[in-house]
Chain A
Amino acid sequence: MDSEVATQTDYDVMVIGSGIGGMESSIKLADMGHKVLLVEKEASVGGRMILLSKVFPTLDCASCISGPKMSSTINHPNITTKNYSEVLGIERDALGLFHAKVRENPTFVDWAACTGCAKCEVACSVAVPDQFNYNLVARRAAYIAFPQAVPKKAVIQRAGTSPCIDTCPAGIKAHGYVSLIRSGKYEEAFQLILEATPLVGTLGRACYAPCESECSRGDLEAAIPIRRLKRFVADRHYDELGDAGIERPAPNGKSVAIVGSGPAGLTAAWQLARIGYQVRILEAEAQAGGFLRHALPTYRLPQEVVEQDIANVTGIGVEIVTSTTVNDLEALKAEGYDAVLLATGTPLATSLGVPGEESDGVLTGLDYLRQVSLGEAPDLTGKRVVIVGGGNVAMDTARTARRLGALEVKVAYRRGREEMPAHVAEVDDAEKEGVNFEFLVAPVSVVAGAGGKVEGLRCQKMVLGQPDASGRRRPEPVAGSEFVIPCEAVFSAIGMAPDTTPFKGLTGVANGSRITVDPTTLQTEVPYLFAAGDVTSGASDITRAVGAGRRAAFSIDNFIQGRSLGIFPALDDLLGVVDKTEVMARQTNYSDREPIVAGTTFSPAPSTFGELEPAMTEAEARAGAGGCMDCGVCSECQECVKACPADAINFDQREKTTDFTVGAVVVSTGYKLFAADLKPEYGYGTYANVITGTQMDRLLAPTRPFNTILRPGDGKVPDRIAYVSCTGSRDKTSGNPLCSKVCCMYSVKQNQLIMGSLPLADVTMHYMDIRAAGKRYNEFYEQSKDMGATYIKGRVAKITEKDNGDLILRYEDIENGGQIVEAEYDLVVLAVGIQPNRDVEKLFTGEKLGLDEYFYVAEPDGDLDPGRTDIPGVFVAGTSAGAKDIVDTILHAGAAVAQVAAHLEAAHIHDVKTMQITAEVPA
């Protein structure tokens, strides 16, 4: 059919895979003038050949041959390479053109700036197996693929956001500081937390650690003790260094007033001051800290820790003015501030609302805790105390009352234990300290005696009905169930609310007792006014307030600098959280670790306010951090950012998917190696001194992972080395009846190289039969024998290990009477076979790429028409179509190139940008 269709393609050809077959195809097609798009999933082109030591039979250096081709590929004017990219799908249209969707994965490194210096790699705190050394050695999460990589650019491997970071309301990089502690970089860990908040010591004690709830390690023996690790670095920092170690930045000439010095206000002040703002905090109380100082008991959060954290803020120039109440925000703004942040929290306790509440001995829990912090608490010696409420303030009040001599402390809560809003640990700890609980009771009135002193709390019993708006079951009174709990003091802890005084006069700002803000920017209807923390949300927790303070500071900076207000990337633009199932699947087995537990000792009759939870020792901290599973791979510790002299690290990069139209496709996706552990009788993965042939090739390469050929079990230079051929090939039991064509010759090559490197070593190869069917291949084999290698015909039945790591091979010696023989070696190399890369099955949508009976890409007429597949316009080059050595791969790529050129010629596809298809398009 002749047709004339005006259309456009982006490239003449797309080549998938940049091994030697893909590079050869690309270069030849580009040399012919075709525009080539080469897609490679790794960060460097080169495939597997560049990882080899030498090539057989010439023993030429693999890098010396491959390197120039890699360079030509990258630099050819007609080749566009997409490294670190994947083809998501290819569809052929009615005209025979192909529409490919290609995802460029983020490298998190600006390659235009990266110089390949590898300083990021050296600084990185996460070690992972190096796939380019077949897991013989560690690389880092920040890495350059291998020394000869082209392009020689770094990549930061990120599988997503680690669950601990993803779940932190303050956006603290928990994985980052855990990995730094694991590396012994304690001060760096402290500084990383400081990036988010000055309240390092506080959060190390008083955070409820949602990170630990999401920790993947929790699915094994126990979560990483993330919160206590934070305390560890804070304590260490304050003990050794004192101040934050942050220099005062140059002033930017702008000023911000912050009302309230709780966690939101302090964090916002810290963030703003660090970028040059003059910040003044106005605090109603005589001391700064808000609830941190006045509501949290010192056995949980010592005052000196709060003071140390606050000193971080004042140390960079933030002024905190105490005993100053702000009732008029407009007047405050009129003093000349560029913006105002309201962060006054929820200082007002909700009253009980029952008769007798004015009696002597009735107090709110908040007031009581505040009085305790100021040393003005009423004497409870010998008294019975009832605390009404089920939240954290109720628990703090109850435990504090226990410490101040109360004879009996009872918590009365209108729902059941399961419904308590207090954190489970707080309830459990209160119980351990002798606090009693009366569940499903609600106060009716305070019973007062002569002189108006409290004598009891009249309650009625409740039952749980249907769930209310909060999702918790609604308590309903039981008629006629009233009773009195005898007591001398009643503390109400049933709720807290903001003080509306500062903002009630501003139009459109108040929302009941709270202040209304844009939840993303925290800006109010009054442009200069922002609000953060509990004053916007109602009572929540410290970590949320810290996150809100960070967000507010970001928005205030944008507002003052005249930039648009939008999302806060540190909280709103994280990579997707890593799937824990994927994390767990990275390992075949997990060893048990001893959990690092706090070991807090509780007294049933506590009497002091000293800090309860013991500090971690350094050994505990290292061991605790050592269990981290590096869920996101990169920990976001930021050490690479600090180390990079080119400022090339960019964590804001995101994947980019592009649609390309091409005239033809070359599949050159290579092969997979046989997984040697599928032959358990050979002990790979069980015996340390059994390795694969590809691993041995790395040990022989100039860029080897060890200093020489060493056996992995103990680092010994091996004297007796055995090869076992046909491991996973010519073997129906392992699902691969085909000969892999390369194993014999790469083994012979390695035999010779070993004898060159270790002249005293004995090298023995156990083989079925040597296949040396190539030019000079048999001569190469004979040469190896002449050099002293021993070749024993007979299948190895089993390998066992001795106590010293040596290995016993049991085999049939066919050429010597077929006797069963056992021989001892230092190191065994399994000459693993190659198998089809079945990823090709997912490449095409709409039609299936045909595979042969062994799952290699089928060449329907391979003998006469090599390289052509069963999809018109799709060609195959190299080992995607079957096992081949390098020579045959290059020849096959040449055949594919000729096929592609013929196809493009037939379709008249030449000029990629203004292409006219005027042809009979192959059906």
Chain B
Amino acid sequence: MSTTLRDPREIIREEPMMHSPILWALRAGPLTVPEIAEHIGEPANEVLFWVMGMRRYGHVVEVEDPTDEGYFRYASVHQEATS
């Protein structure tokens, strides 16, 4: 884990830009934050900001219970709606 954190304002400002890559990563199914981070090549702490922003505004939703490792999986709402 990086010990150099970017300013939250800077991370959050990028949220609209990150919707597409995150939704693209979720096209095959729900993923945890670390899994999304690996897919899109960004730090997990930043992905959490983006996923929670997307959750707040109805783009993703958590899927029931957490994994054995303690992570929730998040699914694209858009995909849910069309599947």
Residues on A facing B (Cβ under 8 Å): 121-122, 125-129, 135-140, 179, 182-184, 586-591, 622, 625-626, 628-630, 685-688, 705-708, 710, 712-719, 801-805
Q: Which residue of B lies closest to A183 (CB)?
A: B16
Chain A residues with CB under 8 Å of B3's CB are 686-687, 801
- Most chain A Cβ neighbours within 10 Å, of B17, B37, B45, B53: B17
22 of the cross-chain contacts (CB-CB < 8 Å) are A122-B57, A125-B16, A127-B12, A127-B13, A127-B53, A129-B9, A129-B12, A137-B53, A138-B12, A140-B57, A591-B10, A622-B17, A626-B17, A628-B13, A688-B1, A712-B48, A713-B48, A714-B33, A717-B72, A801-B3, A804-B1, A805-B1
Q: How far apart sit A717 and B13, CA to CA, in the bound complex (Å)?
A: 25
Contacts of B16 in A (CB 8 A): 125-127, 179, 182-184
Contact B45 A137 (CB under 8 A): no
Residue numbers in B under 8 Å from A622 (CB-CB): 17, 20
A interface footprint on B11-29 (CB within 8 Å = 1, 0 otherwise): 0111111011000000000
Question: Once the chains bind, are A715 and B13 in contact (CB under 8 Å)?
Answer: no
Question: How many chain B residues touch the partner (CB < 8 A)?
Answer: 39
Judge whether A590 and B15 touch: CB under 8 Å: no
Residues of B41-70 contacting chain A, CB below 8 A:
44-45, 47-49, 51-53, 55-58, 62, 66, 69-70
Q: A137-B49, A626-B17 are in contact. Are A715 and B72 (CB under 8 A)?
A: yes
- CB of B63 to closest CB in A, whole Å: 10
A626 CA to B4 CA, complexed, in Å: 20
Report whether B45 and A713 are in contact in the complex, using a CB–CB cutoff of 8 Å: yes
- Using A129-B12, A589-B7, A717-B72 as known contacts, list a sample of 19 further A-B pairs with CB atoms less than 8 Å apart, ordered by residue number in A: A122-B58, A138-B53, A182-B17, A586-B9, A587-B7, A587-B10, A590-B7, A622-B20, A630-B13, A685-B5, A707-B72, A714-B33, A714-B37, A714-B71, A715-B51, A716-B70, A801-B1, A801-B3, A802-B1
Residue of A nearest to B45 (CB): A688
**Residues of B close to A137: CB separation below 8 A:** 12, 49, 52-53, 56
- Point out the residues of chain A lying under 8 angstroms from B15, CB to CB: 127, 138
For A714, the chain B residues whose CB sits under 8 A away are 1, 33-34, 37, 44-45, 48, 71
Instruction: Please measure, in the bound complex, the distance between the C-alpha atom of A111 and the C-alpha atom of B3, giving whole angstroms.
Output: 44
Let me know if A128 and B19 touch, CB within 8 A: no
Choice from B13, B32, B37 contacting A629 with Cβ under 8 Å: B13
Q: From known contacts A138-B12, A713-B1, infer whether A183 and B17 are also in contact, taking CB-CB under 8 Å.
A: yes
Partner of A591, one of B6, B37, B62: B6
Question: How far, in Å, is A233 (CB) from chain B's closest CB?
Answer: 15
- For B56, list chain A residues within 8 Å (CB): 137-139, 705
Contact, CB under 8 Å: A625 / B13: no
Minimum-distance CB pairs A-B, first 4? A715-B33, A138-B53, A688-B45, A183-B16
Closest B residue, CB atoms, query A715: B33
Evaluate contact between A587 and B9: CB separation under 8 angstroms.
yes
Nearest Cβ distance between residue B77 and chain A, in whole angstroms? 12
List, in ascending order, chain A residues with CB within 8 A of B13's CB: 126-128, 628-630
Contact of A589 among B6, B37, B53 (CB under 8 A): B6
Residues of A within 8 A of B14 (CB): 127, 626
Q: Which residues of B contact A588 (CB under 8 A)?
A: 7
Q: In the complex, which residue of chain A has the Cβ closest to the Cβ of B20?
A: A184
Closest CB of chain A to B69's CB: distance in Å?
A: 7
Interface centre among A137, A589, A706, A718 (most CB of B within 10 A): A137
Complex CA gap A277/B50 in Å reads 46
